[in-house]
C-alpha cells in the first residue's frame, strides 16, 4: 500500500503516547476475541477494561455506556471486539451531516472574477486558550498553500498582545491582516475586514476572536453582534463558524459545544493539541449529541501542524495495532 502522508502525520502526533493505551487495548482485544469466538458474552473484566479505555480518552460516561453496551450486545457473534468498537465510533461520526463546502470554499472558483460569489467568511470561536489564534495562522497557511488568497482579521482586541500574536502568524503565512488598536470594537474590525477583503479579492476571510467562557452572557452576545455585523458587510456571512476545542478538555467540552452552537451557530469543530497525551474523546460525544463535524485537528505549534480531520484515520490511529 502506498504512503498516506496525512495518516503519517496524524500517526506521528498520536504515536508518542498512545502506545501504552494501544498495548492495553490489544490485550483486551486478544482476550475478548479469543472468548467471543467461543460464542460467549464478554466477561466483566473485559467490559471494565473497555470502559476504562474510553473513559480515559474523555469519551464521557454517557457515550462510553452507549458504545460499550452496543459492543457487548453484539460481541457474541464472534466478531472482533476491536472492529466493533471502531465501527461503533465511526457510526457516530458517520451520522454527522455530510460536510458542507470546506473552509476554503468550492474548488476552482476565482473570487477575483468581477461577479464571482462573495468571499467566504470564517469565524473562529472558543473558550480561552484553546488555540484559536494559532489555528487561524495555520489555516491561513494551509489555504494559501492550496492556492487561495486568505485574509486574517484580528478581532481579539481584548487580550494582551493578541493582535500582535496574529500579526506574526500573518507574516509567517504571508497573508494579509486587518487589525485595529487594542480595545477597539471587535465587530467594527470584522466589518472593515470583510469590506477590505472583498475589495482586495481575498477569500476566505478568517476571523480570530477573543477567548470567552460560554457562561459569560455579555461576551456570548458580543459574538451575536459580530455575526450580525458580518451579515451586514456581506449577506450570508459568516459562512462557517469553527469552534476550537482543546483536546485536553473533559466533559465541559460538550457544554462548550452546545453553548457556542446556540449562541454563535457553530458549524464545525477544530480539535487542537492532539500531539499531547489527551485524546479529545469528547468529540465523539459532541458528534453524537450535536451532530457537529470535526473539520481539522491541531497536532503541534508549527505552521504545518493542522490537518483535515478524517474519522477513519482518527479511529485507525487510536486503535492501530502496531506503529
Ligand X SMILES: Nc1nc2c(ncn2[C@@H]2O[C@H](COP(=O)(O)OP(=O)(O)OP(=O)(O)O)[C@@H](O)[C@H]2O)c(=O)[nH]1
- Minimal distance in Å, beta carbon 209 to Mg ion? 8
Phi and psi at 98, nearest 5°, equal -55, 140
Binding segment (CB under 8 A) for another protein, from list 64-72, 92-100, 110-118, 201-209: 64-72
* 217 touching another protein, by CB under 8 A: no
Shortest gap between Cβ of 159 and ligand X (angstroms)?
5
Distance from first CA to last CA of the chain, Å, rounded?
Answer: 15
**Residue 214 interacts with another protein (CB under 8 A): yes or no:** yes
Q: Does 250 bind another protein (CB under 8 A)?
A: yes
Q: Is 161 in the site for another protein (CB under 8 A)?
A: yes
What is the size of the binding site for another protein (CB under 8 A)? 65
DSSP 285-303: HHHHHH-PPEEEEE-SSST
Can the peptide bond before residue 178 be classed as cis, meaning omega within 30 degrees of 0? Answer: no
Cβ proximity of 96 and 290 under 8 Å: no
Q: Residue 42 or 175: which CB sits closer to ligand X?
A: 175
Binding to ligand X, residues 261-320 (CB under 6 A): 272-273, 275, 298-301, 305
Integer CA distances (angstroms), 185 to 156, 218, 223, 225, 245, in order: 9, 14, 12, 10, 25
Among 94, 213, 221, 291, binds ligand X (CB under 6 A): 213
Among all residues, whose Cβ is closest to Mg ion? 133
**Residue 242: strand, helix, or coil:** strand
Q: Considering the rule CB under 6 A, would residue 134 count as an interface residue with ligand X?
A: yes
Q: Please choose, from the candidates 233, 238, 236, 241, the residue with its C-alpha nearest in 3D space to the C-alpha of residue 262.
A: 241
The residue length of the chain stands at 323
Q: Are 191 and 232 in contact (CB under 8 A)?
A: yes
Contact at 8 Å (CB) between 42 and 36? Answer: yes
65 touches which of Mg ion, ligand X, another protein, none (CB within 5 to 8 A by kind)? another protein
Give the span between the Cα atoms of 208 and 123, in whole angstroms. Answer: 7
Q: Is residue 52 within the footprint of another protein (CB under 8 A)? A: yes
Residue 130 binds ligand X (CB under 6 A): yes
132 binds ligand X per the rule CB under 6 A:
yes
CB contact set of 204 (below 8 Å; sequence gap of 6+):
103, 104, 105, 119, 120, 121, 122, 143, 148, 150, 151, 239
Shortest separation between residue 163's beta carbon and another protein, angstroms: 8
Nearest approach in angstroms of CB 307 to ligand X is: 10
Binding mask 173-212 for ligand X (x = CB under 6 A): -------------------------------------xx-
Sole binder of another protein in the list 34, 73, 147, 236 (CB under 8 A): 73
Question: Using the rule CB under 6 A, which residue among 59, 85, 154, 156 binds ligand X?
Answer: 156
Conformational region of residue 167, where left means phi above 0, alpha means psi within -120 to 50, and beta covers everything else = alpha
233-262 residues near ligand X, rule: CB under 6 A: 244
Separation of alpha carbons 204 and 237, rounded Å? 11
In DSSP terms, 244 is beta-bridged to 270
Q: Which residues bind ligand X (CB under 6 A)?
A: 126, 128-134, 156, 159, 162, 210-211, 213, 244, 272-273, 275, 298-301, 305
Binding site for another protein (CB under 8 A): 16-17, 41-45, 47-48, 50-52, 55-58, 60-61, 64-66, 68-69, 72-73, 127-131, 137, 158-162, 164-165, 167-169, 172, 182, 213-216, 246-253, 255-256, 273, 275-279, 282, 301
Amino acid at each position: 500500500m502506498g504512503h498516506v502522508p496525512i495518516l503519517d502525520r496524524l500517526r506521528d502526533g498520536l504515536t508518542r503516547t498512545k502506545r501504552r493505551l494501544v498495548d492495553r487495548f490489544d490485550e483486551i482485544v486478544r482476550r475478548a476475541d479469543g472468548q467471543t469466538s467461543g460464542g460467549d458474552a464478554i466477561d466483566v473484566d473485559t467490559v471494565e477494561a473497555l470502559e476504562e479505555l474510553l473513559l480515559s480518552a474523555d469519551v464521557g460516561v454517557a457515550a462510553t455506556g452507549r458504545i460499550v453496551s452496543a459492543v457487548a450486545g453484539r460481541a457474541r457473534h464472534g466478531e472482533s471486539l476491536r472492529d466493533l468498537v471502531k465501527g461503533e465510533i465511526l457510526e457516530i461520526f458517520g451520522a454527522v451531516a455530510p460536510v458542507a463546502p470546506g473552509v476554503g470554499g468550492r474548488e476552482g472558483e476565482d473570487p477575483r472574477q468581477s461577479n464571482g460569489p462573495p468571499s467566504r467568511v470564517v469565524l473562529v470561536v472558543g473558550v480561552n486558550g484553546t488555540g484559536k489564534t494559532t489555528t487561524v495562522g495555520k489555516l491561513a497557511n494551509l489555504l494559501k498553500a492550496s492556492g487561495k488568497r486568505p485574509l486574517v482579521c484580528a478581532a481579539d482586541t481584548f487580550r494582551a498582545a493578541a493582535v500582535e500574536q496574529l500579526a506574526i502568524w500573518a507574516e509567517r503565512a504571508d497573508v494579509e491582516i486587518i487589525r485595529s488598536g487594542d480595545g477597539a470594537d471587535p465587530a467594527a474590525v470584522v466589518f472593515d475586514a470583510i469590506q477590505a477583503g472583498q475589495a482586495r479579492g481575498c477569500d476566505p476571510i478568517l476571523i480570530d476572536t477573543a477567548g470567552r467562557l460560554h457562561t459569560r452572557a455579555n461576551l456570548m452576545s458580543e459574538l451575536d453582534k459580530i455575526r450580525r455585523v458580518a451579515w451586514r458587510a456581506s449577506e450570508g456571512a459568516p459562512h462557517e463558524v469553527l469552534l476550537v476545542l482543546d483536546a485536553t478538555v473533559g466533559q465541559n467540552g460538550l457544554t462548550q459545544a452546545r453553548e457556542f452552537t446556540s449562541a454563535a451557530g457553530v458549524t464545525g469543530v477544530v480539535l487542537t493539541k492532539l500531539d499531547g497525551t489527551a485524546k479529545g474523546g469528547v468529540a465523539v460525544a459532541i458528534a453524537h449529541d450535536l451532530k457537529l463535524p470535526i473539520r481539522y485537528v491541531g497536532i503541534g505549534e508549527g505552521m504545518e501542524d493542522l490537518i483535515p480531520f478524517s474519522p477513519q484515520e482518527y479511529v485507525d490511529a487510536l486503535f492501530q495495532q502496531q506503529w
